[in-house]
Amino acid sequence: MRYLPHTEEDIADMLQVVGASHLEELFSSIPEDCRFRGDLKLAGPVTEWELNDMMAALAHNMAVAPEYKIFLGAGSYRHHIPATVSYLLGRSEFSTSYTPYQPEISQGTLQAIFEYQTLVSLLLGMDVANASLYDGASALAEALLMGARVTGRKKVALSSLIHPHYRIVVCTYLEPAGFEIIQIPYGLDGTTDLSGLREIEGLAAVAIQSPNFFGCMEDLSGAASCAHDAGALLVASFTEPLAFGLYKSPGVLGADICCGEGQSFGIPQSYGGPGLGMFACLKRYMRSMPGRLVGRTEDRDGKPGFVLTLATREQHIRREKATSNICTNSGLCAVTSAMYMASLGGGGLRELARLNYDKSEYLKGELRKAGFGIPFSAAGFNEFVVELPSGSEAVYRRLQDQKLVAGLPLGAFYSEMANRYLLCVTEIMSRQDMDELVSQLRAACNSLAGN
């Protein structure tokens, strides 16, 4: 249900139109003995997502079974979406064709994308952002191809802590074109081991994800130094852009290209899609950037307007000069994320990022108190790895029966990670939810040990 608040001035104007001096007059037809007097006994203020949870709990009194509590992230995150985003996105002006070829009739879409580019550049600390790509995985592959165009080399180094699905997409893009892909190992603290990077010759680009797949923040400034010493570009990837509301942006830390998934910003998970490929770079590399770029200009009367400044696809220019021919932008998703960022503002993003961090640290601390191992010491954001006792598959299944999804089993992606799980906590998880997870994990492990 939409909530459209009115200001005091709005209310006064409406009362004047209907000939009433105050709101009480609107209820004069109701007998006095039927009208409530005094203050309602309401609880204190709560956040919008807490109110949604409260209403869901009331609804469960008539439901067959409660919802699952899912402590799962790994590249797709469940965040609260403000009502402003849903309302604005429902306006017909934004439901247009995916590419605004005719600026004279597409000013609204073009300006919305321009605002998106501006907000992404500010968030990532980069000079220029494009009008978005398909998703985070294809954006990373395009970034590495861009690094090859800039340097003229065909060798890239890829952190083993980049999302496994992203690495598969990179291989699909690059291997048939004859690129050499080097996997960089990770260290004991849960971050990429950069020690051997300076010894690799002929690198076009080095790709590091931060926060990485284990939820740990990487040393991007150190990675930038190593990459630049080798004459390569640093590509900073991400799956959770909200982290940059709390941590320094990749551009500030020396990244040349920054790309990743923007689903966290106002886009529902929707069973895996659609996503949003955020992509930004330094200004000197702008003409090698894939996709399209909306710019601000003036018409012949001096009035501001918006146009496609760069469009480096084969549909727009000669094929041999195109940077990519499969970089369609997710226009509506990009506008959605712009609405989300604008709704929260800089202060809101910082506050929300801090809340995600604090909740994750709370759960991590409670699991540690309960005797579970937290193998990695590096600073993180809203995800972390927990180690369960041997035979944890039975524990995991038992929690699923209790409507709890205790993270992502890592053994399927890293053979050495048997009995380790990637847990995620966002702002929508309550302390009660987290305490229940710890309690159920302890009970299931104790039961397993007793058998």
Burial 229-249 (b: 16+ CB within 10 A, else e): ebebbbbbbbbbbbbbbbbeb
Range of weakest confidence among 45-54, 156-165, 200-209: 45-54
Pairing of strands 420-424, 408-409: antiparallel
Residue 278: phi and psi, rounded to 5, are: -80, 140
- Say how far apart CA 336 and CA 343 lie, in whole Å: 10
Task: Write out pLDDT tens, residues 307-330.
Answer: 888 775 545 555 566 666 565 668
- Domain map (residue ranges) of the chain: 69-81+345-450, 83-342
* 235: its two tokens: 């590509």
On the 0-12 / 13-18 / 19+ scale of CB atoms within 10 A, 3 is exposed
What is the topology classification, in CATH, of domain 69-81+345-450? Aspartate Aminotransferase, domain 1 (3.90.1150)
* Average pLDDT over all residues of the chain: 90
Tell whether the model's pLDDT for residue 193 goes beyond 60: yes
Tell whether the model's pLDDT for residue 13 goes beyond 60: yes
Range of weakest confidence among 72-86, 162-176, 219-233, 287-301: 287-301
Burial 355-387 (b: 16+ CB within 10 A, else e): bbbebbbebbebbeeeebebebebbbbbbbbbb
pLDDT at position 448, please? 75
Sheet holding 420-424, edge to edge: 383-387, 420-424, 408-409
Neighbours of 18 (CB within 10 A): 8
pLDDT at position 258, please? 98
Q: Bigger pLDDT: 207 or 400?
A: 207
What is the topology classification, in CATH, of domain 83-342? Aspartate Aminotransferase; domain 2 (3.40.640)
Task: Write out pLDDT tens, residues 281-299.
Answer: 999 999 899 888 899 998 8
Distance between first and last Cα of the chain: 50
Neighbours of 6 (CB within 10 A): 10
Residue from 157, 144, 161, 160 nearest 217 by CA: 161
Tell whether the model's pLDDT for residue 441 goes beyond 60: yes
- Say how far apart CA 129 and CA 118 lie, in whole Å: 7
Give the angle subtended at the CA of 284 by the CAs of 280 and 286, to the nearest 5°.
Answer: 45
pLDDT at position 343, please? 95
Mean pLDDT of 241-248: 98
State pTM to two decimals.
0.84
Q: How would you write the chain as a 3-class SS string? A: CCCCCCCHHHHHHHHHHHCCCCHHHHHCCCCHHHCCCCCCCCCCCCCHHHHHHHHHHHHCCCCCCCCCEECCCCCCCCCCCCHHHHHHHCCHHHCCCCCCCCHHHCHHHHHHHHHHHHHHHHHHCCCEECCCECCHHHHHHHHHHHHHHHHCCCEEEEECCCCHHHHHHHHHHHHHHCCEEEEECECCCCCECCCCHHHCCCCCEEEEECCCCCCECCCHHHHHHHHHHCCCEEEEEECCHHHHHCCCCCCCCCCCEEEEECCCCCCCCHHHCCCCEEEEECHHHHHHCCCEEEEEEECCCCCEEEEEEEECCCCCCCHHHCCCCCCCCCHHHHHHHHHHHHHHHHHHHHHHHHHHHHHHHHHHHHHHHCCCECCCCCCECCEEEEECCCCHHHHHHHHHHCCEECCEEHHHCCHHHCCEEEEECCCCCCHHHHHHHHHHHHHHHHHHHHC
Task: Write out pLDDT tens, residues 61-116.
Answer: 754 445 789 999 999 999 999 999 988 988 877 765 555 666 667 788 888 899 99
Neighbours of 25 (CB within 10 A): 12
Range of weakest confidence among 1-15, 157-171, 307-321, 373-387: 307-321
